[in-house]
């Protein structure tokens, strides 16, 4: 096994490296020159962790769950936890804008910046992690030696055949200078070897961007990248990315915990060495090294310093009644595979056949022309909803950031009621809005079948026997497979959602969803399931410092091979000569014969019109059935070149 490089600049950085011997009463060290800490107050005694102090904490993306778990354990709330990237966190600490940061080890540049300002950094390991190298699952290579990693990144090995792979060139991605994973890469993997310079196009600025290019790289077998273990396993999971063994040791919680994985590392708590002994930063740091804290971190899947503190991960089951069984086992009730629902647009089209009014007393008058039984069902649903002005809808849960003065609760609210119909279904909706800039606070939507006033359950949107909840929970928050999520993440609003805990899934019986037959996204307008994560959910929280708590909406395309309402599962990019073309995939199990026929026409069109390489895909309801239209951009002109009807897919 290769020797791990030793790095320390004693004048600038005081590393506290004692790993064993942490006890519940404080931090105790052997006679190795490390100093002991003062006794640690228990949460019941109360640490001096005010709202103001929480705003003085910063860190990397991969330590957000660690900090939120600590705040939840000590304060009963994670409100105010707002982290930047590793370089920004170090800058904030050096500039004395923050007092404590949770990050990977400092880079040489960051040490130099601190020294230039007369700042000495104290860097204390608090949990273990590891630098991991990753490739697309299509790559046959399963592992590299440490020497091979150095040879690849120094330019001595440039083809995967040189390490037992295919005869393809290696595209070796790096991160931006001073990012946490780039610093680990230089310290752990490269040591005294200088890596070749990487152009900006293969230096993604964000950790998720690097994982994205490895998973979705056009020549997927060529890509090689790196990240940190926790992030790839808990925060940004992609099914089509695999971690490489290094020196025949595969990275795992166990191999990182026992130190056998060669690129094992740490997350650190870093503070200025002149931080007062009794300051909140010192108190929190001391607590982080106790057995109690180490077990808290282990419950959210970090690797504690001492293997004795490894405990079972904290379960987020229970949300909406979720259990291991009902988040993994289900059976669709939407009819036999291949049977498509009616294309009747229903009575609400045109605006005259459906209406809803209320006098404010809680009673509703609903009209659904020709379907009085459906009108009665809709009215009963409206009347069973909680009032729009309930206090819990106008108060922020404690784990949300404090509101600004302009949005102090309670925020006056008003409700909007609407109805629509499509494909044999009637939709009823209530949207609760906050006055001013508060925006949409809560949405409730339901669909009833016209024929029998049956309220559509989640299972009704999937063919008989389909394990729909396993499909949903495997893909909903998975950026590697949910194209809706990837497209949404490109928009500023979606990036503000923070992952609070590993996603254990929604129950098969959840009613916090709606199916939109035609929802428009960047690539496709197709059938979409929208799930509503309420403000009390344990998984996601918007990183906002204004406005009242609101639902977080996450979309998922409905594939045609699983759902009678399905359309397009994803739109893939492929290379045709020097042109990038879009190929449709209608089923979750891959393209079928009809997809291949359309994609061949796309290729033919693109070869004739090199500028027309982007496909706009639409699924629509027509009298003859479900139709698919694919249009291609040709300069400023869009031309429709194919029209396919799906009255019966199978």
Helix then strand count (H, E) for the chain reads 16, 28
Q: Mean pLDDT, the chain, as a whole number?
A: 76
Most confident of 341-355, 381-395, 517-531, 537-551: 341-355
pLDDT score for 215: 57
CATH of 13-128+265-309, one of 3.90.1300.10, 3.40.50.720, 3.40.190.10, 3.40.1280.10: 3.40.190.10
Percent of the chain residues topping a pLDDT of 90:
31
Percent of the chain residues topping a pLDDT of 70:
69
More confident residue, 114 or 578: 114
pLDDT score for 60: 85
What mean pLDDT comes out for the span 344-356?
83
More confident residue, 488 or 460: 460
pLDDT score for 620: 52
* Eight-class DSSP state of 169: B
Of the pLDDT bands very low, low, confident and very high (cuts 50, 70, 90), residue 208 is low
pLDDT score for 45: 55
More confident residue, 141 or 16: 141
* Eight-class DSSP state of 188: I
Query: 450-466, pLDDT tens digit by residue?
Result: 999 999 999 999 999 99
**Mind giving me the DSSP string for 28-90?**
---SSSPPPPPPPPPTTT-----HHHHTTEEE-GGGHHHHHHHHHHHHS--TT-----HHHHH
Report how far residue 398's alpha carbon sits from residue 249's, in angstroms, rounded to the nearest whole number.
43
For Cα atoms 336, 338, 340, give the angle at the middle one, nearest 5 degrees: 95
pLDDT score for 643: 37
pLDDT score for 19: 29
CATH number of 129-262: 3.40.190.10
Coil/strand/helix, residue 623: coil
Q: Give the torsion through C-alpha atoms of 392, 397, 401, 405, to 10 deg.
A: 30
Query: 310-348, pLDDT tens digit by residue?
Result: 887 766 677 788 888 999 999 999 999 888 787 777 898
What mean pLDDT comes out for the span 590-612?
73
In the chain, which residues fall in CATH 3.40.190.10?
A: 13-128+265-309, 129-262
| Single pTM value for the model | 0.61
pLDDT score for 158: 92
More confident residue, 212 or 35: 212
> Range with the lowest mean pLDDT among 20-29, 395-404, 436-445, 525-534?
20-29
């Amino acid at each position: 096994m290769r020797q791990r490089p030793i790095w320390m600049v004693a004048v600038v950085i005081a590393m506290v490296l004692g790993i064993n011997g942490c006890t519940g009463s404080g931090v105790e060290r052997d006679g190795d020159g490390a100093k002991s800490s003062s006794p640690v107050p228990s949460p019941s005694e109360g640490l001096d962790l005010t709202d103001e102090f929480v705003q003085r904490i910063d860190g990397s993306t991969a330590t957000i769950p660690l900090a939120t778990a600590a705040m939840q354990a000590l304060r009963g709330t994670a409100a105010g936890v707002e982290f930047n990237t590793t370089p920004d966190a170090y800058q904030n600490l050096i500039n004395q804008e923050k007092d404590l940061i949770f990050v990977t080890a400092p880079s040489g540049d960051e040490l130099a910046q601190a020294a230039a300002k007369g700042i000495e950094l104290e860097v204390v390991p608090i949990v273990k992690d590891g630098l991991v190298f990753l490739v697309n699952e299509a790559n046959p290579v399963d592992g590299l030696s440490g020497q091979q990693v150095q040879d690849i990144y120094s330019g001595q090995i440039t083809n995967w055949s040189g390490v037992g792979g295919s005869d393809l060139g290696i595209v070796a991605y790096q991160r931006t200078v001073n990012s946490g994973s780039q610093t680990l890469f230089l310290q752990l993997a490269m040591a005294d070897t200088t890596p070749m310079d990487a152009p900006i196009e293969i230096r993604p600025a964000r950790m998720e961007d690097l994982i994205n290019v490895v998973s979705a790289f056009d020549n997927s077998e060529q890509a090689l990248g790196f990240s940190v273990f926790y992030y790839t396993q808990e925060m940004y999971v992609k099914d089509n990315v695999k971690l490489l063994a290094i020196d025949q040791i595969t990275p795992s919680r166990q191999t990182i915990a026992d130190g056998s994985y060669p690129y094992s590392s740490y997350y650190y708590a870093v503070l200025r060495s002149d931080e007062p002994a009794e300051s909140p930063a010192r108190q929190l740091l001391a607590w982080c090294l106790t057995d109690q804290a180490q077990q808290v971190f282990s419950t959210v899947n970090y690797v504690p310093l001492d293997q004795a503190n490894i405990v079972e991960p904290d379960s987020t089951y229970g949300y909406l009644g979720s259990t291991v069984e009902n988040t993994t086992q289900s059976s669709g009730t939407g009819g036999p595979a291949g049977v498509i629902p009616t294309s009747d647009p229903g009575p609400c089209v045109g605006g005259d056949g459906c209406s809803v009014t209320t006098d404010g007393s809680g009673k509703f008058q609903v009209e659904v022309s020709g379907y009085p039984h459906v009108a009665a069902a809709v009215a009963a649903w409206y009347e069973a909803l909680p009032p729009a002005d309930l206090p819990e809808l106008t108060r922020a849960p404690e784990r949300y950031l404090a509101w600004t003065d302009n949005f102090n609760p309670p925020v006056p609210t008003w409700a909007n009621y609407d109805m629509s119909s499509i494909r044999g279904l009637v939709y009823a909706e209530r949207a609760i809005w906050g006055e001013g800039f508060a925006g949409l606070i809560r949405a409730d939507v339901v669909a009833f079948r016209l024929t029998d006033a049956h309220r559509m359950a989640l299972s009704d949107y999937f063919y008989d026997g389909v394990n729909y909840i396993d499909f949903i929970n495997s893909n909903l928050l998975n950026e590697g497979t949910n194209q809706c999520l990837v497209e949404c993440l490109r928009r500023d609003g979606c990036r503000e959602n923070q992952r609070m805990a590993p996603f254990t899934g929604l129950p098969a019986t959840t009613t916090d969803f709606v199916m939109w037959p035609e929802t428009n996204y960047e690539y496709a307008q197709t059938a979409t399931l929208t799930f509503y994560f309420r403000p009390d959910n344990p998984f996601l929280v918007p990183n906002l410092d204004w406005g009242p708590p609101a639902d977080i909406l996450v979309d998922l395309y409905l594939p045609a091979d699983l759902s009678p309402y399905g359309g397009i599962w994803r739109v893939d990019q492929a290379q045709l000569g020097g042109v990038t073309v879009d190929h449709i995939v209608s089923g979750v199990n891959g393209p079928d014969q009809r997809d291949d026929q359309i994609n061949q026409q796309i290729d033919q069109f693109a070869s004739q019109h090199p500028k027309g390489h982007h496909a706009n895909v639409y699924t629509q309801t027509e009298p003859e059935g479900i139709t698919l239209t694919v249009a291609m951009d040709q300069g400023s002109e869009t031309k429709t070149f194919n029209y396919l009807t799906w009255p019966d897919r199978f």
